[in-house]
Amino acid sequence: MTALHRKLFRDLFHMKGQVAAIALVIACGVASFVTMRAMYRSLLRTQQSYYAGYRFADLFAELKRAPDSVAARLREIPGVRQVQSRVVMDVTLNVPGLSEPAVGRLLSLAPQQTGSLNALFLRRGRFADPTSSSEIVASEAFATANHLALGSRVEAVIQGRWQPLTIVGIALSPEYIYEIRGSGSIFPDNKRFGVLWMPTHALEAALDMDGAFNSVAIALEPRADEADVIARVDRILDPYGGLGAYGRADQISHRFISDEIAQNRVSATIIPAIFLAVAALLVHFAFSRLVTMQRPEIAVLKAFGYSNSQLAIHYLQFSLLAALGGYLLGCAVGWYYGIRIAAIYADFYRFPILIYQAEPHILLWAGILTIATAATGALGAARSAATLPPAEAMRPEMPPDFRPRLMDRFKVQWMHPAVRMTLRNIERRPWRALASAFAICASIMIVVVEFGMFDALNRIMTLQFRDAQREDVAVTLIEARSATARLELARLPGVIRSEPFRIVPVRLRHEHRWRKTALLGLAPNSEMRTMIDQHGRRQLLPGDGIVLSTALADILHITPGETLRVELLDGRRSSFSVTVSGTVDEILGTNAYMDLHALNRLLQEDRSISGALLQVDAAQQQKLYQTLKGLPAIAAVSIKEAELRSFTDTIHRSMTLSIGTLLVFAIIIAVGMIYNGARIALSERARELSTLRVLGFTRREITFILLAEQGLITLFALPFGFLAGYALCAALAAVMRTELYRIPLVVQPSSYAWGFLIVLLSAIVSGIFISRRIAHLDIVSVLKARE
């Protein structure tokens, strides 16, 4: 090791506080990059290999009922490689240990798993015996959530009869990696919704679907034209109540995972970029100051023949070494953190195996980014070390150039001298103050955005589960019944109030655009289900016409007053036109609403209903659930409290880790910046502060003078941090707006308060560190040393 290297290491050790701050900020950047980038790659690879290995279908279609021969016609469509027809039915389940009824999706289990589409990955047990009528394979998420093991029994209401089903296998399907019931939900509720696979013959017999199917999965040839195949499939299935075929892009599980993967990719760029930018600033300040302080040393080295490039490299090495520490720490944290995140992902997304692996090239890229950050930050320091003329370096640095500036044009004599000193200091180095403010701003922004997203989720929860869905229980009947059914539902135990609804699958068409959705007919002046927009404003349902959610209206390019074509997809091949009477900017889904009676009229029905929304006496809840479990005519029961609970649980589980981590990250940025800023100020102003001490100022006073500058910069940064946080929330709300959900832009005052608190805390921590250094300031030696 050369003497210059020894100097390097000893100097680095001497400024260990600053080096640690730099290393920590770089570690945050590297950790977030490694975690997110590796997560992105791992998810993508897992998804691709799972899809390929278990033959995830390319197209899907649901229909009322078609004979098996129709499947053969689908096979003849050019571009179709494989067709798998099946029977799918949602039924009410009685799950041991669960008081309320659950919904089970029964799916036919192809006799031989080899070669079939959407093949099952058998986690435990075996496939059901094809000849058995009571054996089923259950999805892992459902089994785990309800503590069901091999041999456990559940009961299902099939065709009005209770049927006991025995779990013989627990499996995963590429179709239900994200296991949610339909487009109305965002988070899985694995306790109350699960997929169950039953041998084909048994299911067909049970549902009276012998030799027929009501769902089909299709694999395409590699170069097939998806849109063309969809159109042909729709033409063939239309007479059989086809609900319209759709590709992977509209398959709900695929869509959620793909969105998640895409989001990871974006965050893997933005978040590390923020940290590395701050790190570069810290490097710049710390090592520029070092070069200034080491002017005499640089002069000596040059006098003895060290070349400019040797010195430039010497000062680059400072930042590279500091960064190396951050890089190693970041890789370790990123790796550990990735494993934790992968465990959370495994809760949401059911893959046979999700291996989080930080590939060497990701670590290599992280290294390249680290080096680039360190080098960019230290460029100024290295350049000034290289270009410092030795004869000039020999002389002490010119006293800082204080001239009357903007501030002094005003009468500032009334200000305390300490305040004047602080203001002049900031005014003299405005760029540095701005850069410090930028970093503090970034720190506040991170906190505000994180809490702002939490606010948004809370708002979704309130809007959806408190304001829009006011019922306690929604009961859906297997088939539409006459209005008398409502009276029966109203007589159920504990029901205080009931409101009928009619729901019908439709295809809405406007010009060449169309969308499949469910048209919901609500009672006039419904109190249980209201239309609430993003801002919590209630909209009334007009007696005529159809109301669309804004997302749906945008997709169809339709505005109120225009006419919409409604094609019924419930087996009747009829359609009607209706005027759009309004739009409502809802948070979830793409919905369409009509007045119940108007819908009945258009459907040419006499007051038929699909189910009812019930308000229930809490004391009789259990009794109601027991009764509902036993009613064969009921297809599904959804219980709001349970949904809400599952929603909150999921959010809390996934957000605790990320909020905690980002808070730590934000503190590291803020402390790093404030502490470094104060350290540099201390080093620059040591003589000035010592002079003040000699003149009789107390230690507390000079600590104040020193920290006032950082304090002012922090105060200045606060509103911009709030603003940036709000702006980023708005940007995220706009970017994350999907057909499935909208993120409302709500940032509660508490979120800003958190941002403020974090920065305040960081400032206090930095202040404590600095005041300890001031306590050790050796006044006499500072003054005696050559300026």
Partner 1 sequence: MVSAERTRADEAEQVVFHVHSVSKTYLTGAVPVLALRSIQLDLTAGEFVVFLGPSGSGKSTLLNILGGLDTPTSGDVRFRDHWLSEADDAGLTRFRREHVGFVFQFYNLIPSLTALENVALVTEIAERPMNPREALRLVGLTERENHFPSQLSGGEQQRVAIARAIAKQPDILLCDEPTGALDYPTGKLVLDVLASINAELHTLVAVITHNTAIAAMADRVIRLRSGEIVGITRNTRRARPEELVW
Could you say which residues in the range 611-650 bind partner 1, by CB under 8 A? none
Residue with tokens 């002046």: 525
CB of 305 to partner 1, least distance (A): 2
With respect to partner 1, which residue has the nearer C-beta, 306 or 720?
306
Residue with tokens 């941002």: 755
With respect to partner 1, which residue has the nearer C-beta, 3 or 227?
3
With respect to partner 1, which residue has the nearer C-beta, 381 or 532?
381
CB of 381 to partner 1, least distance (A): 17
CB of 296 to partner 1, least distance (A): 5
CB of 781 to partner 1, least distance (A): 10
Instruction: Provide the H-helix boundaries in 514-639.
Output: 550-556, 596-602, 621-629
Should residue 716 be labelled a site residue for partner 1 when binding is judged by CB under 8 A? no
With respect to partner 1, which residue has the nearer C-beta, 14 or 405?
14
Should residue 428 be labelled a site residue for partner 1 when binding is judged by CB under 8 A? no
Write each residue from 367 to 406 as x if it is in contact with partner 1 (CB under 8 A), else as -, in one continuous string.
Answer: ----------------------xxx--x------------
Write each residue from 654 to 693 as x if it is in contact with partner 1 (CB under 8 A), else as -, in one continuous string.
Answer: ----------------------------------------
With respect to partner 1, which residue has the nearer C-beta, 314 or 502?
314
Should residue 321 be labelled a site residue for partner 1 when binding is judged by CB under 8 A? no
CA dihedral sign of residues 468, 470, 475, 477: negative
Strand, coil or helix: 131: coil
CB of 694 to partner 1, least distance (A): 22
Task: Please state, as a whole number, how many other Cβ atoms lie within 10 Å of the Cβ of residue 235.
Answer: 11
At 737, the amino acid letter reads R
Strand, coil or helix: 365: helix
- Single out the residue of 442, 36, 34, 450 nearest to residue 278, CA to CA: 442
Should residue 297 be labelled a site residue for partner 1 when binding is judged by CB under 8 A? yes
- Single out the residue of 263, 340, 355 nearest to residue 658, CA to CA: 340
With respect to partner 1, which residue has the nearer C-beta, 313 or 344?
313
CB of 35 to partner 1, least distance (A): 37
| Contact residue for partner 1 among 222, 249, 304, 512 (CB under 8 A) | 304
With respect to partner 1, which residue has the nearer C-beta, 380 or 390?
390
Should residue 770 be labelled a site residue for partner 1 when binding is judged by CB under 8 A? no
| Contact residue for partner 1 among 44, 273, 300, 659 (CB under 8 A) | 300
DSSP conformational letter for 249: G
CB of 374 to partner 1, least distance (A): 21
CA distance 185 to 19: 48
Should residue 414 be labelled a site residue for partner 1 when binding is judged by CB under 8 A? no
Angle ∠(514,519,525) on CA atoms, nearest 5: 140
DSSP conformational letter for 540: P
Q: Which stretch binds partner 1 (CB under 8 A): 1-9, 204-212, 215-223, 546-554?
A: 1-9
Q: Which stretch binds partner 1 (CB under 8 A): 145-153, 256-264, 295-303, 513-521?
A: 295-303
CB of 269 to partner 1, least distance (A): 39
With respect to partner 1, which residue has the nearer C-beta, 390 or 630?
390
Should residue 783 be labelled a site residue for partner 1 when binding is judged by CB under 8 A? no
CA distance 484 to 146: 36
CB of 411 to partner 1, least distance (A): 28
Should residue 44 be labelled a site residue for partner 1 when binding is judged by CB under 8 A? no
Q: Which class for 17: exposed (0-12), middle (13-18), buried (19 or more C-beta within 10 A)?
A: middle
**Sequence-ordered list of residues with C-beta below 8 angstroms from that of 252, at least 6 positions apart, any chain:** 178, 180, 182, 183, 740
Could you say which residues in the range 218-237 bind partner 1, by CB under 8 A? none
CB of 3 to partner 1, least distance (A): 4
Rg value, the chain, Cα:
33
Residue with tokens 């109305």: 184
With respect to partner 1, which residue has the nearer C-beta, 491 or 786?
786
Asked if 44 and 258 touch (Cβ cutoff 8 Å), the reply is no
Asked if 605 and 480 touch (Cβ cutoff 8 Å), the reply is yes
Q: Which stretch binds partner 1 (CB under 8 A): 209-217, 303-311, 677-685, 715-723?
A: 303-311
CB of 782 to partner 1, least distance (A): 14
Task: Please state, as a whole number, how many other Cβ atoms lie within 10 Å of the Cβ of residue 171.
Answer: 25
Should residue 307 be labelled a site residue for partner 1 when binding is judged by CB under 8 A? yes
Q: Which stretch binds partner 1 (CB under 8 A): 82-90, 97-105, 302-310, 520-528?
A: 302-310
With respect to partner 1, which residue has the nearer C-beta, 390 or 560?
390
With respect to partner 1, which residue has the nearer C-beta, 306 or 335?
306
| Contact residue for partner 1 among 305, 360, 399, 696 (CB under 8 A) | 305
Query: What are the percentages of helix, strand and coil residues in the chain, rounded to 5?
Result: 55, 20, 25
- Single out the residue of 691, 707, 704, 698 nearest to residue 785, CA to CA: 691
CA dihedral sign of residues 662, 665, 669, 671: positive
Number of residues that bind partner 1 (CB under 8 A): 25
CA dihedral sign of residues 204, 209, 215, 219: positive
Should residue 561 be labelled a site residue for partner 1 when binding is judged by CB under 8 A? no
With respect to partner 1, which residue has the nearer C-beta, 295 or 685?
295
With respect to partner 1, which residue has the nearer C-beta, 8 or 760?
8
What is the CB-side half-sphere exposure of residue 689 using CA atoms within 13 A? 27
Q: Which stretch binds partner 1 (CB under 8 A): 226-234, 298-306, 550-558, 749-757?
A: 298-306
With respect to partner 1, which residue has the nearer C-beta, 310 or 376?
310
Should residue 265 be labelled a site residue for partner 1 when binding is judged by CB under 8 A? no
**Residue environment code for 350-368, b if the CB has 16+ CB neighbours within 10 A, otherwise e:** bbbebebbbeeebbeebbe
CB of 779 to partner 1, least distance (A): 17
Instruction: Provide the H-helix boundaries in 122-183.
Output: 140-145
CA distance 83 to 511: 31
| Contact residue for partner 1 among 206, 218, 299, 628 (CB under 8 A) | 299
Helix (H) or strand (E) holding 487: helix 484-490
CA distance 743 to 534: 9
| Paired tokens of 305 | 């023949």
Could you say which residues in the range 4-23 bind partner 1, by CB under 8 A? 4, 6-7, 10-11, 14
Q: How far is CA 340 from CA 262, 311, 654, in A?
A: 20, 44, 11
CA distance 320 to 10: 15
Helix (H) or strand (E) holding 92: strand 88-94
Should residue 780 be labelled a site residue for partner 1 when binding is judged by CB under 8 A? no
First-to-last alpha carbon distance for the chain, in angstroms, is: 32
Q: Which stretch binds partner 1 (CB under 8 A): 76-84, 195-203, 294-302, 626-634?
A: 294-302
What is the CB-side half-sphere exposure of residue 381 using CA atoms within 13 A? 28
CB of 316 to partner 1, least distance (A): 18
CB of 652 to partner 1, least distance (A): 51
With respect to partner 1, which residue has the nearer C-beta, 398 or 619?
398
CB of 275 to partner 1, least distance (A): 30
| Paired tokens of 513 | 């655009």
Residue with tokens 């699960």: 194
With respect to partner 1, which residue has the nearer C-beta, 209 or 311?
311
At 345, the amino acid letter reads Y
Should residue 653 be labelled a site residue for partner 1 when binding is judged by CB under 8 A? no
> What is the binding site for partner 1 (CB under 8 A)?
2-4, 6-7, 10-11, 14, 296-297, 299-308, 389-391, 394, 786
